[in-house]
Structure 1
Amino acid sequence: MPRTERKGRQNKKRGKKGGKKENVEGEQITTMTATTIDDPMKITPAIDNSFTEQRFQAAHFGEVDEELLGYFKNVEQTLDDPQFETAEDQRLFVENVYNEVDGNEIRLSTNYSCSLILEKLLKISDSFQLRVFMDKLRGKTVELFVHRFASHVCQTLLTLAADVVEREQLDGVKSDNNAKNGTDENKEGELLSMEQLVLDACEDIKPHIGGLISQQFASHVIRILLHVLAGKRIDETGDIKGRLRSKKSAQYKKENNDTFTKTSVHLASTRKVPDTFKVMFRTLTTELAINMSETEVRTLSVHKVANPVLQLLLDMQENDTEGIKARNILIDRILWGIVTDIDSKEENTDRDSWFATLIRDSVGSHLLEIIVKVAPDPIYRKIFKTYIVGKLEKFTLHPIANFVIQNLIAHVRKPKQLKQILTELKGSFDKIIKNGKYGVIRSLVDAAVKMEVCQQDVVDALVTGLRMPSADDKEGTAVEDRKEFVNCCMRMWTLDQWKSASYDEKQDLYKFHLQGSLILQGIMQMNEEANAIATSSFLSQRPDTIHRWCFSPVGSRAFESVIASHHVNDKMKKKVMRDLLGKYTSLAKDKFGSHIMDKCWLNADIDMKEKIAAELVKHEHELASHYIGKNILWTCKIDQYKRRHDVWVEREKGAERKREMFKDILDDTMPISKKRKFA
């Protein structure tokens, strides 16, 4: 699309609303601390903290002249609508662009329009071109990291550099002197590897790292850099908490159809990185975790820009001696010497007030979530006993603190701790449901499954919370009410709410709650005694009602969990599959129902498979022309069923025997086909 038609773009600014001049790079970011706390809900401003108050002057490298600006606009048109016939044509085009802008790389990076075009250009550059470009930025790392526009270029460059470094580790460093026409490489020396270029950038920022992580634009670049050094794959499409891109940057890319960096599901989550990167990661961790005072770390821990960097430093440490040491030191400074005082019985009022503030703070609570996840067992136990026990209900009902409690429960270390949590919370399930804190219940269900304790107690507490009669009540009305368990659980409604709902509300599948579905899925993984109420309730529903669940993104997951559960007997599963006869064709053509079809086929015996296959054969032509249905035909081997029925029977019986033999180690909870994005 011609540039002149895109009038709205010039008024869009990344990083800050409004049309003010870009003199904000050197503005001081307000920092917060809690050195003196009267009100545990309040965080007081920092008075004197030179470490996080470093000022970074807005660098200016000159204006881009009109001729170069016009050339770059033409480059953008080519990038937006490429007409390259071969990959070599594209490489030559990119090389020519770099030759034309040689010497102006920094000036272009700090220009609003040109920085956007540079990002597009970098994404189609080869390894050598990326090394040349990064070499041009050497010595100006800090100035570019803190710049409003250049910081985005640096983010993209470092993200792409991770691929180059990995290739260098696998294939070695490849040079291409001919590709660097127009430069004085022979005079200046050999072009450095991407590994060394990244390390040089780290050396540049090392003296300023504490200030950079709290700087508005540099913080996101530092986070990308930490991913590269730690060998973690960068997936911006899964950046749900804004750790890698700011909300405005992410929204801008979405609105302008700018592709994010996405990790393939087939790739490992870690990369092969050189040992020098691991050393540099530890060095930067040391600068932040060890060379700073406790007050400075606590200031950063409630800083909305710096906090995510501390989260990454805690989460990315390896579980070796050095990594554990660095993590413990960082936790010690964040939580007011809790590691140092691990065996102390004395009360620390400063730490008590700080923890009460941190767990309720919209920024600091995220750091606590990571701490309870990665903390060694003694530290977890200290936090649990000192600050959580006796206050669980209060924290659970708090709009912010409840997320910390969810993570605390999810990463519980011992069955005894889970029992203690449940003892304190089991009488509060009605309040938890009333206040919509369903995630806490889900965490309890998942923890009970993982630890294999308290499963019946969790279900009983949920039944009481939904205000349903207990199993001890044998009256006819109570038995009928218990049949509504799955309906109440799926919607997170109490029994009274279900009874008072209209017919249309009961039929509305959009009333299903995601957390309710996840809770029901967790219950189906519990032992047979604990999941009995859910199983019997599910089986007591009308077949046409349950059939509608199959076409709901939330309901279908719950349906699958019943079929896939190892703790539901085959007789019950067969009844569910028998109720679906006559409906398998419609299931095979639905994006949600097809997964249920997979589960039914995986768990059906040979007699049920015969009935399902016979139904599919009748609609074979219809299914063969459907983009989902044809996969079901392949899964069920319908062609073989028709042509060589005896072979098909033997094959399915063999598969059934193998499944029975290895049922204790096979995970039938995963779909046969590609895993769905829906959680």
Structure 2
Amino acid sequence: MLLVLRQITPLRTTLQKNHHFLLRLAALIAVPMVSVGLHALVSRKHRGCDLTEQPTAWENQTNNQGVRKRTMGRKTSKKHAGVNTDYTVESVSGGNADDNDRPHKDKKTTPVPQTSFLRKQIDPETAKYFAEIANAIEGTEIDPEERSVICGNALEETRGKEAELATDYIISHTLQTLLEGCSLDHLCTFLQSCAKNFSHIAADRSGSHVVETALKSLSFHLQDNENHSLIEHALKKICKAIVVNPVDIMCNCHGSHVLRSLLCLFKGVPLEEFHSTKSSVGLAERLNLKAPHAKNVSLQPVQIFPSLLKKFVSEMLNTASEDISKLQMNQYSSLVLQTVLKSLAGNEQELLHLIRVLLGSSAGSANAGNLLEGIPIRNILRLVEETAYSHLMEAILEFAPETLYDELLTKVFRKSLFRMSSHHCANFVVQALASHAKSQDHMDLIWEELGTKFRDLFEMGKSGVVVSVLAATQRLHSHEHECCQAIAASVCTGDEFPKGIVPRILFLENFFCSRDKSNWSWPHGTKIHVVGSLILQSIFRLPSELIQVYITSITSLEEHHVLEASKDPSGSRFIESFLNSNISGKQKRKLVAKLRGHFGELSVHPFGSFTVEKCFTASNLNLRETIVSEMLPLQPELSKSKQGPYLLRKLDIDGFARQPDLWKSRQASQQSALKEFYATFGPKETKSFEKESFLADTVSKSKPGKLKDIRKEIETTLASAKTSITPFLAHQVSKKVKRSKDEKKRHRKDGESESKRKKIKV
């Protein structure tokens, strides 16, 4: 190898005038160096990886084979190691219903060009050293203390070469391993040394992973308060490097992620939790399936570095104030700004200042009663139609103080809600407005503009707006009945009312796309619309007196339609919500009876099995016996299915097979205990019971949550009574009496033996 280098050196000196040719030649020289000097990399399965030159952005699609997937979600495609030309699109999740309506990439958003950074070539000795380190620490078991020493010593060799090594595709992986195993001192020293070129490292595909690994390792040391001063010193140096030119980092797909990780560290929140933007989470919150603002509460622990966070955000915004319009429109900077809003949750003054800046305020400070002074309102209405800014506005509405939310609704968005609901991006802002409404007055304004437009929204495919308004009416207990009536009227009128309400909501998209709506019928083999199912699930959580037309509609479904819905992932959820509701047991059993003869096939179906369990709970003794008898021949198949073993235990199918009469007696005993318990401890209005009714009949006016808790508690206790024919309460009393008699006998015997021992001693 050295001989080859000596022969080529004179040639390299003669070609200094042709710089590009020299770089290409250097790249060719590096290939044999990897194969000979870095033999250790063979065990890591890096085939065709070049230490000095990597494929450019347009070569990514063809040259990404044969490379092992790395940790931290790194993509296998590579870019040129010298110039930052990578602008891959990162998916942006808004966390809303109908998220597929919003394009994930804003065509009008153009990436901000980064300053070219040509890193120095890594010399062969350094490359060989880190290859040997990789062999020594990867895939081998080493004592933790010894590993920490090796990692620390290796990191010391990176002094002055952090940018070159961190942005190298292969060595960057070794650096990540070293940063995970080194001590806190070496970790902080490495980060401080990176500060000089932090912007270039963070904006690089490989370098960003190195920095994030270092930040993640720092988070593990936050548990010890003695480490805070050392960590804070290192973070201050990084922050000073960032605020010099934050715009370039914020608008870069890799740099954006690094900044979000840094903000997580300031907040003291796990990186995975803070970066989580799953649409299902946001949708669950908007539909009241999770506690209101549950995300806000989870993201408000005791801040580790509160003053440093405020100063960093303040200086970063001051430096980037002239580029706010650019940051508003860029999808990557929008993600950073959303994370900043989450980080400041709970700090009302800081949030107020930040939001005013993001809204384009030109005034220095807000005036009481006019928080939007100096903010161009028309500009906001235009920006919410852009993908990146609509996501940012959703976060603003979520974390805005109540006074600012009130002014945004009344002074900016009022009289524009329906127009915004018609837009593929702005409609998500309307959903956020409804989801974060603070009072009934806010709900009145929203209802005034959208309450009569449900049919238009359904026809435009903006059902997510309707769902958000429905959930808001339930949360604020305002316009609940009117909302249910408006939804029913928007899908069904004339002779089909109310029978056709539930089928048309279940197949919203199919119904509103049909040309002949008057002759529309249940489309067999078509999946049930997810949002339609969610609407019905929300409606069945309301008091039964408000939803009588929906009850009539669902109990009027054909038997084969109920069976088909029970096998659908969204349909089974909607049927379960009906059976879990506070509707009378008589109406529930009317629906359950439509599945007679199909309980066996449903019990082995992945979705229908859940419906069978709910049917059993809502049924009387005769229906329960029917359900179990239909499942009995399928015991072998049930034992092999996912939900089957649970159903076998819950329904006690084995007990029914052995002794049907005893099984009936136990079911009656359980029901008797539930009735006695609820007659004693339940609400006064529920102490009268119908004949042949189970608990679902008698507590239709009680709260579903309390009923579930009571039922779980009693069923757990009843498990011990499964082998007895006697009523549950008598069984428990007899046990206590027997136990007390046994204890008295034991005490009496102990007393007699003690007296005998005393006599012997005397």
2:705 aligned to which of 663, 666, 673:
666
Distance across 2 between alignment mates of 1:461 and 1:545: 25
Q: 1:619 to 1:222 in 2, by over 3 A?
A: same
- What is the deviation of 1:74? 10
1:523 aligns with 2:559: no
C-alpha distance 11-330 of structure 1, shift in aligned 2 (>3 A): farther
Q: Which residue of 1 aligns with 2:20?
A: none
SS in 1 for 2:542: coil
CA displacement at 1:361 relative to structure 2: 2.0
Secondary structure in structure 2 of the residue aligned to 1:547: helix
Deviates more, 1:637-646 or 1:380-389: 637-646
Indicate conservation of the 8 Å contact 2:81/2:119, yes or no. Answer: no
1:537 is aligned to 553
1:399 maps to 424
Task: List per-residue Cα deviations over 1:467-505 (Å, max 9, x = no partner).
Answer: x21xxxxxxxx3445312111111214479396699997
**What is the one-letter code of the residue matched to 1:139?**
S
Distance (Å, rounded) in 1 between the aligned partners of 2:271 and 2:682: 40
Task: Decide whether the 8 Å contact of 1:294 with 1:336 is kept in 2.
Answer: no
The aligned amino acid for 1:462 is I
The within-5 A match list for 1:134-533 is: 135-141=189-195, 142-143=198-199, 144-166=201-223, 168=224, 197-198=234-235, 201-202=238-239, 204-209=241-246, 212-235=249-272, 238-240=276-278, 270=298, 275-288=303-316, 291=318, 295-319=322-346, 323-337=347-361, 340-341=366-367, 343-344=369-370, 351-466=376-491, 468-469=492-493, 478-492=494-508, 493-494=510-511, 497=514, 506-510=523-527, 512-533=528-549
Asked if 1:556 corresponds to 2:572, the answer is yes
Give the CA deviation at 1:225: 1.3
Once residues 595 and 195 of structure 1 are traced to their aligned partners in structure 2, the CA distance between those partners, rounded to angstroms, is: 52
Alignment pair present for 1:600 and 2:615: yes
1:498–1:506 CA contact under 8 A, matched in 2 = no
Q: Distance in 2 between matches of 1:203 and 1:605?
A: 70
Contact 1:122/1:157, CA 8 A, preserved across alignment: no
SS in 2 for 1:223: helix
Distance 1:198 1:307 in 2: 23
Structure scoring higher RCO (CA < 8 A, sep ≥ 6) equals: 1
**Paired residue secondary structure (1:541):** coil
The match for 1:475 is none
**CA–CA distance in 2 between the matches of 1:586 and 1:90?**
56
Q: Which shifted more, 437-446 or 99-108? A: 99-108
The amino acid of 2:330's aligned partner reads H
| Cα separation, partners in 2 of 1:331 and 1:101, compared to 1, 3 Å | closer
Q: Residue 372 of structure 1 aligns to which amino acid in structure 2?
A: L
Give 1:5 deviation, angstroms: 8.8
Q: What is aligned with 1:245?
A: none
Unmatched runs of 5 consecutive residues or more in structure 2: 1-43, 50-61, 88-105, 280-294, 684-701, 713-762
Cα deviation, residue 122, structure 1: 6.5
Deviations 1:420-443 (A, max 9, x none): 322322333232122111111111
Task: Please name the residue that 2:36 is paired with.
Answer: none
Q: Sort the Cα spacing of 1:495 and 1:667 in 2 relative to 1 into closer, same or farther, 3 A.
A: farther
Q: Is the 8 A contact 2:109 2:330 kept in 1?
A: no
Other structure's SS at 1:619 match: helix
Within 2, Cα distance between the matches of 1:135 and 1:366? 37
Q: One-letter code of the match for 1:488? A: R
Distance 2:46 2:552 in 1: 64
In structure 2, what is the Cα distance between the partners aligned to 1:64 and 1:651?
79
Amino acid at match of 2:416: K
User: Residues of 2 paired with 1:334 and 1:280: CA distance?
Assistant: 21
The answer (yes or no) to whether the contact 1:23–1:58 under 8 Å persists in 2 is yes
Separation in 2 of the partners of 1:587 and 1:453?
39
One-letter identity of the residue aligned with 2:214:
L
Distance 1:96 1:633, change over 3 A: farther
| Displacement after TM superposition at 1:574 (Å) | 1.9
Deviations 1:154-194 (A, max 9, x none): 2233234434434x36xx87xxxxxxxxxxxxxxxxx9866
Distance 2:125 2:232 in 1: 36
Quick one: which amino acid aligns to residue 212 of structure 2? Answer: Q
Q: Which residue of 2 aligns with 1:546?
A: 562
**1:147 is aligned with what amino acid?**
D
Asked if structure 2 preserves the Cα contact closer than 8 Å seen for 1:122 and 1:130, the reply is: no
* Cα contact 2:506–2:532 (8 A) shared by 1: yes
What is the CA RMSD across the aligned residues, in angstroms? 4.6
Please name the residue that 1:109 is paired with: 166
- The one-letter amino acid paired with 2:614 is K
After TM superposition, the score normalised by the length of structure 2 is 0.65
Q: Which has the higher helix share?
A: 2
Distance across 1 between alignment mates of 2:133 and 2:588: 64
- The offset of 1:240, in angstroms, is 4.4
User: Bigger CA drift: 293-302 or 653-662?
Assistant: 653-662
The question of whether the paired residues in 2 share the 8 Å contact of 1:613 and 1:638 is answered with yes
Equivalent position amino acid for 1:583 in 2: H
Kindly tell me the number of residue pairs found equivalent between the two proteins: 584
User: Once the two structures are superposed, what CA deviation does each residue of 1:317-348 show, in whole Å capped at 9, x if it has no partner?
Assistant: 232xxx11000011122224498255249996
- Asked if structure 1 preserves the Cα contact closer than 8 Å seen for 2:168 and 2:206, the reply is yes
The correspondence for 1:58, drawn from 117, 130, 140, is: 117
Contact 2:296 2:345 in 1 (8 A): no
Cα distance in 2, alignment partners of residues 325 and 409 from structure 1: 24
Q: In 2, are the aligned partners of 1:25 and 1:146 still within 8 Å (CA)?
A: no
Paired residues of 1:392 and 1:424 also in contact (CA < 8 A) = yes
Distance (whole Å) between structure 2 residues aligned to residue 427 and residue 564 of structure 1: 30
Q: Post-superposition shift, 1:446?
A: 1.0
CA contact (8 A) 1:556 1:592 kept: yes
Question: Counterparts of 2:445 and 2:650 in 1: how far apart (Å)?
Answer: 47
Residues 358, 368 of structure 1: 8 Å contact kept: no
The SS at the match of 1:666 is: helix
The amino acid that maps onto 1:507 is H
Counterpart residue type for residue 491 of structure 1: F
C-alpha change, 1:238 and 1:210, in structure 2 (3 Å) is closer
Q: What corresponds to 2:634 in structure 1?
A: 619
* Aligned-residue offset at 1:619: 3.4
TM-aligned CA distance change 1:625 to 1:305, over 3 Å: closer
537-546 or 419-428, which deviates more = 419-428
Change (3 A) 1:629 1:417: same
- What's the secondary structure of 1:363's corresponding residue? helix
Alpha-carbon distance in structure 2 between the residues aligned to 1:484 and 1:408: 31
Counterpart of 1:417 in 2: which secondary structure? helix
Q: What percent identity do the matched residue pairs reach?
A: 19
Deviation at 1:506, TM superposition (A): 0.7
Moved more, 354-363 or 66-75: 66-75
Distance 2:469 2:646 in 1: 37
Structure 1 residues 565 and 76, CA gap change in structure 2 (3 angstroms): farther
